[in-house]
Amino acid sequence: MKKIIGKPSEYLHLLLGNLLYAIGFNLFLNGNNIAAGGFGGIGLVVSRFLPVSVGTVVVVLSIPIFLWSYKVQGAKYTISAFLSTLAFSGFTDFLSFLPNVTDNKLLAALCGGAIYGLAAFILVRGRVSGSGSDLLGRLLITKFRVLSLGTFVMLVDIFVVLTSVIAFHDLEGGIYAGVTIVTISFVTDACINGGNRAYMFEVITNADPDELANRIFEKLDRSSTLLRGIGMYKHEERNMLMVVVSPRQVYEMKDIIKEVAPDAFVVLVSASEIMGEGFRGLDVTVPIKEIEAKEEESALKK
């Protein structure tokens, strides 16, 4: 049951992320007819022609997606996606009284996109299941693995934007919707990369690699990989330690190198993405329930 319910922090991220989505939607996008993809964009279009709220449309469209998600991704992920959809729909309808901040569509696209991007980052940070086009994209990729998750989400968003252009007979609105989507992507990536950056040290030295590796592990709790090579200038065997650290550990790492291997040749590389032990990654082509089953099996073995 605990596996299905999830942690309190996940629900906090879920609520905050979807609250920001609703604020950005009502303050900037809704009043300017900017359907920036997702089920919210479809809800905006439908609500202009039928007497239904945006939130209602989102929930109705999501029902068959939830059934598919339960079969493919499992109960925990589906429940999280369901709650996320309810939160977005509820907040969006509840905050529909908010005024349209600006009639400048470019400014609305940029500001709305920035808020959406921040909201997306909060959901990713809390490891909370997404809804709408994100959920649909994660389901499609388990069946059609030739394309990436980002590509599937983009295709869904393009469909929504084209639908809004046809429905509103407004090509300019579609262009601004595109600007919003690009802004969302930029802000989300900037937040993720800025908050989870890592740096890779390549330390080439003649010093005892065991002493250096042990010191790094003791001080930074980071493991290292020893590579052996030949220096082509003198054709002498050299040791190279490869270590990945967080930004706040960079200066500590430098101090350790100066202390243990002051004559080392060091290359410091900024890494945009690290996956593996200590830096968890996720293969989105694999259903969530399969990943959770493997993690549970691994935990039992330990």
| The pLDDT of residue 233 | 79
Q: Is 23 in contact with 116 (CB distance < 8 Å)? A: no
Q: Kindly report the backbone phi and psi dihedral angles of residue 202, in degrees, each rounded to the nearest multiple of 5, phi listed first.
A: -115, 105
All domains in the chain, ordered by first residue? 2-195 (no CATH), 198-271 (3.30.70.120)
Least confident of 148-162, 176-190, 233-247: 148-162
Residue 157 scores a pLDDT above 80: yes
For the stretch 282-301, pLDDT in tens is 444 555 555 556 556 655 55
* Average pLDDT value for residue range 74-90: 85
| The pLDDT of residue 26 | 95
Q: Residue 2 — very low, low, confident or very high, per pLDDT cuts 50/70/90?
A: very low
Q: Indicate the burial class of 24 (C-beta count within 10 angstroms; 0-12, 13-18, 19 or more).
A: buried
For the stretch 105-134, pLDDT in tens is 999 999 999 999 899 888 877 777 666 677
Q: What are the beta bridge partners of residue 230?
A: 237
